[in-house]
Every structure is written in C-alpha cells, then in structure tokens.
C-alpha cells in the first residue's frame, strides 16, 4: 500500500512516498509565500517503473490546489509533465509573464 507524507522544516521539505512503510521516493520542495518550488523527484531504483513518480506528482499538485499555491517546476520530471499536459496543470503552474 502506498502513502504520501509532506514533511516541512521551515520553508523547505519533502513529499515522501512510502510503499508498505518503506520510503520509496521523494520530491524536494520549498514553499515561500504562494510559490511551491519543486527541485527534484527521486524514486528508489527497486521501485522504478511502478508509477511512483506520478503518485508524487499528483500529491504535489493536490497540495498546491488545496493551499492555493503555484508550482515552480525546476525539477526536470515535473517540468516535462507540465509541458506535456498543460491543460491538466495550468491552474497550478507558475509562469513568469
């Protein structure tokens, strides 16, 4: 069973993904004002190919929507997903004018 947790220490933190209580992956994030910046997505090698990065992305986006935040996708994976599916993420995607 997979579950996620958001762990924040001040402005920096992680979205952690657990599979059967074993940490399987994470996203490095920070929140400053109304901007949620995601820097890095990582899934442990033994869990690759199981859609775990997508689970992390879904948790990131739902957290942003629940808290009226805009996501700054510095992470290559998140940025690629935003570019690939802009209609799905436009409401939370922070874009410089």
pLDDT tens-digit readout, 62-74: 999 999 999 999 9
pLDDT digits (tens, 9 = 90+) for 1-11: 899 999 999 99
Rounded Cα distance between 79 and 66, Å, is 20
Q: Classify domain 2-88 by CATH number.
A: 3.40.630.30
The model's pTM is 0.94
Tell me how far CA of residue 42 lies from CA of 5, 27, 34, 71, in angstroms.
Answer: 15, 6, 24, 18
**Strands of 35-43's sheet, edge to edge?**
2-9, 12-19, 22-32, 35-43, 70-73
Contacts with 78 (C-beta within 8 Å, 6 or more apart), sequence order: 27, 38, 41, 57, 60, 71
């Amino acid at each position: 069973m997979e579950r996620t947790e958001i762990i924040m220490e001040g402005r920096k933190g992680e979205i952690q993904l657990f599979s059967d209580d074993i940490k399987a992956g994470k996203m490095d994030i920070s929140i400053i004002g109304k901007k949620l910046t995601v820097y890095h997505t990582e899934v442990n090698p033994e869990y690759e190919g199981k859609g775990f990065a997508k689970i992390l992305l879904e948790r990131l986006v739902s957290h942003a929507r629940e808290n009226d935040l805009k996501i700054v996708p510095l992470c290559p994976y998140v940025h690629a997903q935003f570019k690939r599916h802009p209609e799905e993420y436009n409401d939370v995607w922070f874009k410089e004018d």
